[in-house]
Amino acid sequence: MSSIQTSKHHRQLLYKKMKHCLITAELLNRRLVSYQANKELPFYRWFKYREGFSSDLVGFFLEKFHSKTGKLLDPFAGVGTSLFTAQELGWESVGIEVMPVGVYAMTARQAANNVCTYELRKTADSILHKLPQTTADETIKHIPITKDAFPPETEEQLNRYVSLCSRIKDESLKTVLHFAAFSILEDISFTRKDGQFLRWDYRSVRNLSGKPFDKGKIFTFEEALASKIEMIIKDLTTQAAPTLFLNNVSTLDKPPIRLFEGSCLDILPKMEGNQFDFVMTSPPYCNRYDYTRTYALELVYLGIDFPGIQKLRQTLLSCTVENKDKREHIQSLYLSLGKKKDYQKIQEVYDTLPAMCEVNTVLECLNRQNLLNNKAVSRMVRNYFFEMCFVIAEMSRLMKKGGYCVMVNDNVRYGGEEIPVDLILSSFAEQLGFNIRQIYVLPQGKGNSSQQMGTYGREEIRKCVYLWQKQ
């Protein structure tokens, strides 16, 4: 263990070098940099997407650092908070999202602007009236981790409803009504999202180990759907509601949102450089969360089968222990685009950062001593930073001189070793064309996991918002 105990040297040097950039931000809090500030607002309360930041945070940084409108990029768009907020403020926005759940939610949000609330209510009432007499011609194709997620009667009603929705001719109306059922899947199931897993209620037919979990009321399909549709209609009727409709300007008069579905690792290198004024984003954290499991119900509802989910999991940024190495794929992509020198430069930035090398060495050492709770953690961390180095390089290439990048991320700890995500990513950024303006540290950090607290005690790690400016 002596080698581990003395291996913080380069991380400490990096901290001393960048300490002047760290500033406690009293105006920022967990609520603002998470979904919490959005969850009671229109659209965000339709579908509870727990990953991402608030629209208030986007508005704050755009107004403070770039009051003149321009073009914004979010390479990890989620459900489009930065894109839609920027659009309402007069910005043209471009987003990239790999999760079909986020892409679908953004599509439904845009469709909601085009529906007549009278027709929405009328069609919904008609569908609910026909539900008992309908034979489902479409059924959800479950995967192992979602099997038996719903009471049998609920699943039958859900299948009937989807079949009726598929017959609607108006595409916007069809999308919104289909999305309404998508938004209640957790409410009508035996499951609850819990970190990176689905937690199962004791009333399910599954054989469950451990202490029985009671999620509370499990809603019937009809009561959950009727309540959701009423909520959507109310929000669409009250068009002055903040963050869904920030003003009364017609959607036709607003700048466009352009959305790419897929991995930003594949899409960013193909985009034309020097075109964006602002990047506002929050990548997946290096925390082992597997969004294909968290949103498994939503994925199967959208028709993603088991092989499709396995493929999606490998396409995601490496933030789970199941992710395989993408180095060969990234290298082949850059070579095919005639960007061999770019690839070599970015790889060199990653390979030569002493703090990064130290983190990789320490985790490998912990691995050999069986001090990590999963042997794939060291690979995941190594690949996470390698991939993020390429994302940062591409964001720099795509940004105009003087443009800003705002990124929300958390530090992490494995085997008792803190990994300074904020300092490592900012050091990459500094070598790839950015000036590190500030690293805003939230007044309240994030505690380590319950498993690590038992061994190492409770220690906070930094939750940060980075502000970089293109040189």
Helix (H) / strand (E) element for 413: namely strand 412-414
- pTM confidence score: 0.93
A 10 A CB-CB count for 457 gives 9
Question: In 272-376, where does DSSP find H-type helix?
Answer: 291-294, 296-301, 306-315, 327-336, 340-351, 354-368
Q: Are strands 417-419 and 412-414 parallel, antiparallel or unpaired?
A: antiparallel
Question: In 193-315, where does DSSP find H-type helix?
Answer: 221-237, 264-267, 291-294, 296-301, 306-315
Query: Digits of tens for pLDDT over the chain (471 positions)?
Result: 444 455 899 999 999 999 999 999 988 888 888 888 888 888 999 998 988 899 999 999 999 999 899 999 999 999 999 999 999 999 999 999 999 999 999 999 999 999 999 999 999 999 999 999 999 888 999 999 999 999 999 999 999 999 999 999 999 999 999 999 999 999 999 999 987 788 999 999 999 988 999 999 999 999 999 999 999 999 999 854 444 434 434 455 789 999 999 999 999 999 999 999 999 999 999 999 999 999 999 999 999 999 999 999 999 999 999 999 999 999 999 999 999 999 999 999 999 999 999 999 999 999 999 999 999 999 999 999 999 999 999 999 999 999 999 999 999 999 999 999 999 999 999 999 999 999 999 997 665 554 454 555 557 899 999 999 999
Whose structure tokens read 């937690």?
199
Beta-carbon contacts of 316 under 8 Å, excluding residues fewer than 6 positions away, are 98, 99, 263, 284, 291, 292, 323
Helix (H, G, I), strand (E, B) or coil at 97: strand
In angstroms, rounded to a whole number, what is the distance separating the alpha carbons of residues 270 and 131? 47
On the 0-12 / 13-18 / 19+ scale of CB atoms within 10 A, 366 is buried
Helix (H) / strand (E) element for 301: namely helix 296-301
Spatial contact of 435 and 469, defined as CB atoms under 8 Å apart: yes
Spatial contact of 399 and 470, defined as CB atoms under 8 Å apart: yes
In angstroms, rounded to a whole number, what is the distance separating the alpha carbons of residues 72 and 90? 11
pLDDT tens string 115-150: 999 999 999 999 999 999 999 888 999 999 999 999
